[in-house]
Amino acid sequence: AKLFGCTSEAFRDTTICSICAHLGPACLSLIVCEMSCECVNVSPDVHTEAVQAALAKHKERKMAVPMPSKRRSLVVQTSMDAYTPPEEDGGGGGGTSSSREGSISMEHWIGRAIHGTSSTTTTTSSTASSSSSSTRSGGSGAAAGRLADVLAQHVHISAHRHHHHHHHNKTGVPVSSRVSAKIQQLVNTLKRPKRPPLREFFVDDFEELLEVQQPDPNQPKAEGAQMVVMRGEQLGVVTNWPPSLEAALQRWGTISPKAPCLTTMDTNGKPLYVLTYGKLWSRSVKVAYNLLHKLGTKQEPLVRPGDRVALVFPNNDPAAFMTAFYGCLLAEVVPVPIEVPLTRKDAGSQQIGFLLGSCGVTVALTSDACHKGLPKSPTGEIPQFKGWPKVLWFVTESKHLSKPPRDWFPHIKDANQDNAYIEYKTCKDGSVLGVTVMRIAMLTHCQAITQSCSYTEAETIVNVLDFKKDVGLWHAVLTSVMNMMHVISIPYALMKVNPLSWIQKVCQYKAKVACVKSRDMHWALVAHRDQRDINLSSLRMLVVADGSNPWSISSCDAFLNVFQTKGLRPEVICPCASSPEALTVAIRRPLEEGTTPPGRGILSMQGLSHGVIRVDSEEKLSVLTLQDVGSVMPGGMMCVVKPEGVPQLCKTDEIGELCVCTVATGSSYYGLAGMTKNTFEVFPVSNSGVPVSEFPFTRTGLLGFIGPAGLIFVAGKMDGLMVVGGRRHNADDIVATALAVEPMKFVYRGRIAVFSITVLHDERIVVVAEQRPDSTEEDSFQWMSRVLQAIDSIHQVGVYCLALVPSNTLPKTPLGGIHLSETKQLFLEGALHPCNVLMCPHTCVTNLPKPRQKQPEIGPASVMVGNLVSGKRIAQASGRDLGQIEDNDQARKVCVRGGQLFLFLSEVLQWRAQTTPDHILYTLLNSRGTIASSLTCVQLHKRAEKIAAMLGERGHLQDGDHVALVYPPGIDLIVAFYGCLYAGCVPITVRPPHPQNIATTLPTVKMIVEVSRSVCVMTTQLISKLLRSKEACTAVDFRTWPPVMDTDDLPKKKPPLLYKPSNSDTLAYLDFSVSTTGMLAGVKMSHTATSAFCRSIKLQCELYPSREVAICLDPYCGLGFVLWCLCSVYSGHQSILIPPSELEVNPALWLSAVSQYKVRDTFCSYSVMELCTKGLGLQTDSLKSRGLDLSRVRTCVVVAEERPRIALTQSFSKLFKDLGLHPRAVSTSFGCRVNLAICLQGTSGPDPTTVYVDMRALRHDRVRLVERGSPHSLPLMESGKILPGVRIIIANPETKGPMGESHLGEIWVHSGHNASGYFTVYGDEALQSDHFNSRLSFGDTQTVWARTGYLGFLRRTELTDASGERHDALYVVGALEEAMELRGMRYHPIDIETSVIRTHKSITECAVFTWTNLLVVVVELDGSEQEALDLVPLVTNVVLEEHYLIVGVVVVVDIGVIPINSRGEKQRMHLRDGFLADQLDPIYVAYNM
């Protein structure tokens, strides 16, 4: 116990759990420990030692791994009372967790780190030498919360060896933030070079550089001679062997009717029932008669000879099963034994149903008790199970059956080629196949078993195995009857209560043979407490059914070790290898006393992974010890063929799939001719390609080799094979290694699933284990990181994902094992609900494309020449020319004064007030869709005059002063704006604070007021009161505001004189907006630009006084403000104003208004469109019945500053198509800070086009058009038509040279309505000149351009515009600031986010950003917090598969955490700041290794 560092209580379990591992030859050191009163020798498990040594090595590397962060509510401790141990397939539930003191559960580095914090000034040298005892100084509960900081400091120490103190933080990480410390730690972890540098690459058509694994020249290769086919001994047919099993049953049933055939046990271990051969015979005859004559009608019997019927019997009723099975054989009906379906949705039940359906099963035989226990519907009917055909349930108890007539006898033939029974087999992918076994094969198999095991008449055999299939069926139901043996059947339920029951029965009945699995031996060891009365000397053969499993050897050795003193002889243990297809492949014969013990193979794990047998290995840690399973079965031949491709014979030192040739195998997969041919009709060939035999071989599905003296060794199963990076690993071996790490403490033995999933063209290993309810987060995380290290050391393979799930939650097979394919399915669907996840994509994924090497920039001149030479256009385009378009509006003729066009909106308004005073310009709707207020030309003019008077009188404002307008969307805002123009002041529209969220929204208002240098604030009485309220004053002190004027009661008088600006280049207004990157930026709009802007929109949308336009936008900035406040005054059309906030009350408001007012043009934002799509999705029929009609809409424009959201616009179009909306009507616009509207789909001109580009080329800034639906294609929609008077060119953001059409570049714009510069307090001149006054470095170097900061490209389409020219379309790809440089390539967040949102139904929103070269993915979870951890692997997988990127951190948050601005755009930088400052309160944060 001291050696293992635990209490002797715990030791009982810990040493014995070494049974999980591969035992090597070094079993010399004996540990003698006191167990109750007797000394027992237990050899320490070499594998466990190997694992401990491997972990010790890792410890020296001093590597810290950041622990995931979890919200409190997720860390629920299950109380121990409420807990029941799971039904484990391979281990005892009881393992007292060893006390923390002195146990090496705590990783050394944690100990050291905590030690370091307790005495801060410790120098590194002493820290390094501090022993694991420092764990105690930290206490076992060593503050999980502090852990992260501690770890961060620890990483910090290793990074700066020469510093003496922990205080210095030179990594540039804000120390206060736990999150950033963890990320820094993750970065440090990843800095270690993990794998050798990448080798050669192959280039495929996509110039894609996925690394292909080149074979290592030093890897071991097979060098032996070609193997020869091994033959078993002759099958010596004994004279009294029966011609068929039915004949045997008839013989024993008539000559020895009293001989016991089967004794069944109850759960107390008392004999429940003895079935004699006489009873078995008479009852089977009865079942046969009833099957053939009592189902259906005389003319139309339901079951005919050769039909298949299902046998559904529980594991505690072998007698009923045997009767039914032999009844079927006598009736010449083919039984299909299956498990009892407990619920309608059992793991794998659907596939079983598929098997029954494909076998044409219509009748299911079952016992009375089982029939009563099946789930029933309220009417008492047994419901149809999921995926099952309709079956008739037939109870086989004698009392329910009719007696056969005296003259009726079953027809007993010699064994022939007819099918005897079908055994089901579950494949790796979860599908269920039926293996058919012919009558002659069944009989020959029984004869071969009898000869191998030297069975004799009336021997007693104890069976613990499932008697419905495999070894249990062959020995305890078939061969036993052939030899008139007596079977003692131990049900699984009894084993759970008393694991020693089978040993007690061997003693009680002096049984000669016992059939067990290694888990039964393990359980007996765990439960064994020196029972005095045990004597196993009667056993001549202990058949270990899973003896071919690599880790059964340790169970066999440990069992022998303990029970040798109880009369168990070493030669009695007989491991056996079997498979559903080949039946018994091999079984070790019971040896005569005194002969040499069987062989052991100690193989190098490294060699095995290359499929080669290497006996000794320099690396003593990673070896696999195998025991032989005897020689070839009597009457059979065996060879070993390559697992993939042509079945070519292996060399003698090569691992391959075992194939057998004998009568005694399955003959087909029922109904699957192709698969049958590949498995049951294999003709192995030699090197020269010559078949080795004229007879077909059957593949066993077992991997192994034939060793010296013809002994067969099995190293794994084909189903458990995982090929990672060209090397083969066996799932069972990995399970063994995981179990050797502190086995009994954190997880359950036998409750570990290992499988592989394919991600990015290679298999990746996933380990899922059930965690004990009493283990802490820290413990589990430690265990997980140690398992990763152990597997890495011993198998030299990385684990992609390690997940722990709560106890009892993995899907079970009927006998309590793990249902592997179902577990894998749940994992891939994100329905496993783990409580801990550790992903290691950084260490596993070594075949990523080569990072892009940035070429030295080619000069702009060369690019231009290159484009000209290759015949590519330089990417430039323009809207119609403003000068040439005749503006035939009345306003033009009137507004011309001395040949000068009106440039001032204030003058246009005065002119409209005189000429059309009663023409309505604005109508505001409330949430009920009724008119809240409206405004005619003259009303607007008069109210604006009053405001101007008030500004002069009360505010004493000079012309040119800045005024902040804080109004809700509505008429007051418009009036105040024109009032400012009349008074010569510069208005700034500001969104009012949200009354429910003052603390966060009010500071933004204050900031805009300050930055814009506003001298006063105009607002409504309501908002003015709000600013003075107590709550508001805690956020912003009211005394710090400039004077606040409310405009609800205006003075009666007019201003003496309306202001007219002297210069048209003076400021008209300031436009403030928060960009997607979270920057508050104000731009200056001059009178000229404002006027040009309105004119451009008027021409593009053909606006004039008789038109009506519906606007559902926020009126505070950009195009939204211009449409809401300015355009109606300029063009004279009526604007129907719909505040977007009203849609939250009534989502149908906007569309109803459009329909009611017969509007032809409408403008909205993405948030409005999303609200309609989500809120009205199910109401289209009721809206239609209310007469909602959208057929008159010719343009519905989404106002945006981002890449068009094509999925949203398409789903909106599809959804409202039924209401008459023309899909071509929906389009988007594009504007930005330097120019508020560059593109806008007008009324004339071609429809917006969509192109598909190759996403991978886009990462290299190249535009490659592909067909719709081709892999990696990304749909991009044109952002509307370029406005009149606007010119666009695509420029290289670095060299400022013009780009060709096939490249992605920055969109530069030249137009009369460009903003004239940023308005900031800081006066950042360089930025100003760069953004607003840029010139090309080559070509046309005279024109002054404004840089939009957005990447995009131009394409000349096949369409023609109004002037007959070919139409140029602009496609916006994304903001330059938000694009992420990763692996030398440019990624746009939206593309990764789209992939992530698609991956699981519970992800409602996603945002990504980078931090220190790590990709951080934040997802909003719409579901229970238990689903949070499911998302981590799915997110990691999809980003790897579709974007070739490794996610560094996955953050799962609540709905609504990702900040969205008023235009519905994500504010990723705000989110990033919040994450790093630890303000998100995430549900879970996973740091991928």
**What gap in Å lies between CA 1099 and CA 882, rounded to an integer?**
9
Average pLDDT over residues 813-834: 88
854 or 305: which carries more pLDDT confidence?
Answer: 305
Instruction: With beta carbons less than 8 A apart as the criterion, state whether 1163 and 1111 touch.
Output: yes
pLDDT digits (tens, 9 = 90+) for 1330-1384: 788 899 988 888 899 999 999 999 988 877 766 667 788 999 999 998 899 998 8
What is the predicted pLDDT for the residue at 843?
87
Is the pLDDT reported for residue 1422 higher than 50?
yes
Percent of the chain having pLDDT more than 90? 50
pLDDT digits (tens, 9 = 90+) for 88-103: 444 333 333 333 333 3
Average pLDDT over residues 927-932: 91
Percent of the chain having pLDDT more than 70? 82
Average pLDDT over residues 1108-1137: 94
Instruction: List all residues 6 or more positions away from 244 whose beta carbon is below 8 Å from its beta carbon.
Output: 412, 413, 414, 415, 439, 443
**What gap in Å lies between CA 311 and CA 296, rounded to an integer?**
19
**What gap in Å lies between CA 903 and CA 914, rounded to an integer?**
18
What is the predicted pLDDT for the residue at 877?
87
Q: How far is CA 549 from CA 435, 553, 554, 1129, in A?
A: 22, 8, 10, 85
**Location of structure tokens 């206060």:** 176
Comparing CA positions, the residue from 505, 446, 519, 504 lying closest to residue 263 is 505
What is the predicted pLDDT for the residue at 35?
30
**What gap in Å lies between CA 1313 and CA 1238, rounded to an integer?**
9
Instruction: List all residues 6 or more positions away from 375 whose beta carbon is below 8 Å from its beta carbon.
Output: 342, 343, 344, 382, 383
Average pLDDT over residues 139-145: 36
Alpha helices in 315-438 (DSSP H): 318-330, 349-359, 368-373
pLDDT digits (tens, 9 = 90+) for 1200-1227: 888 999 999 999 999 999 899 998 899 9
Buried b (16+ CB within 10 A) or exposed e, 1231-1254: bbbbbbbbbbbbeebbebebbbbb
Per-residue tokens: 1066: 């003076």
In degrees and rounded to multiples of 5, residue 144 shows phi and psi of: -55, -35
The amino acid that residue 1188 corresponds to is: L
Q: How are beta strands 986-990 and 962-966 bridged, if at all?
A: parallel
The amino acid that residue 1051 corresponds to is: P
Cβ atoms < 10 Å from Cβ of 1255: 19
pLDDT band at 179 (very low <50, low <70, confident <90, very high): low
Give the 3-state secondary structure of 566-634: HCCCHHHEEEEEEECCCEEEEECCCCCCCCCCCCEEEEEHHHHHCCECCCCCCCCCCEEEEEECCEECC
What is the predicted pLDDT for the residue at 812?
83
Instruction: List all residues 6 or more positions away from 56 whose beta carbon is below 8 Å from its beta carbon.
Output: none
Maximum average pLDDT range among 731-740, 769-778, 855-864, 1123-1132: 1123-1132
**What gap in Å lies between CA 450 and CA 14, rounded to an integer?**
39
In degrees and rounded to multiples of 5, residue 972 shows phi and psi of: -55, -40
Is the pLDDT reported for residue 941 higher than 90?
yes
SS3 699: strand
What is the predicted pLDDT for the residue at 999?
85
Among 59-68, 581-590, 1130-1139, which is the least confidently predicted range?
59-68
pLDDT digits (tens, 9 = 90+) for 1036-1057: 888 899 999 988 888 787 777 7
pLDDT digits (tens, 9 = 90+) for 729-759: 999 889 888 888 875 567 777 789 999 999 9
Is the pLDDT reported for residue 194 higher than 80?
no
pLDDT digits (tens, 9 = 90+) for 1152-1166: 999 999 999 999 999
Comparing CA positions, the residue from 1322, 1166, 1331, 1369 lying closest to residue 1235 is 1331
What is the predicted pLDDT for the residue at 108?
39
pLDDT digits (tens, 9 = 90+) for 1308-1324: 999 999 998 888 755 55
What is the predicted pLDDT for the residue at 1421?
95
In degrees and rounded to multiples of 5, residue 1198 shows phi and psi of: -90, 125
Q: What is the mean pLDDT of the chain?
A: 82
186 or 204: which carries more pLDDT confidence?
Answer: 186
pLDDT digits (tens, 9 = 90+) for 149-161: 433 333 333 334 3
**What gap in Å lies between CA 282 and CA 253, rounded to an integer?**
8
Q: How far is CA 1282 from CA 380, 1163, 1245, 1285, in A?
A: 72, 17, 10, 9
**What gap in Å lies between CA 195 and CA 440, rounded to an integer?**
56
pLDDT digits (tens, 9 = 90+) for 36-57: 333 333 344 666 777 777 777 7
DSSP state of 691: B
**What gap in Å lies between CA 818 and CA 87, rounded to an integer?**
10
**What gap in Å lies between CA 992 and CA 1000, rounded to an integer?**
12
pLDDT band at 856 (very low <50, low <70, confident <90, very high): low
What is the predicted pLDDT for the residue at 1061?
80
Q: What is the DSSP string of 142-202?
A: TTHHHHHHHHHHHHHHHH-TT---S---TT---TT-HHHHHHHHHHHHHHS--SPPP--B-
What is the predicted pLDDT for the residue at 879?
84
953 or 1192: which carries more pLDDT confidence?
Answer: 1192
> Dihedral sign, CA of 1371, 1376, 1378, 1379?
positive
What is the predicted pLDDT for the residue at 28?
27
Among 752-756, 791-795, 956-960, which is the least confidently predicted range?
956-960
The amino acid that residue 762 corresponds to is: D
602 or 186: which carries more pLDDT confidence?
Answer: 602
DSSP state of 43: P
SS3 1389: helix
758 bridge partner residues = 763
1243 or 400: which carries more pLDDT confidence?
Answer: 400
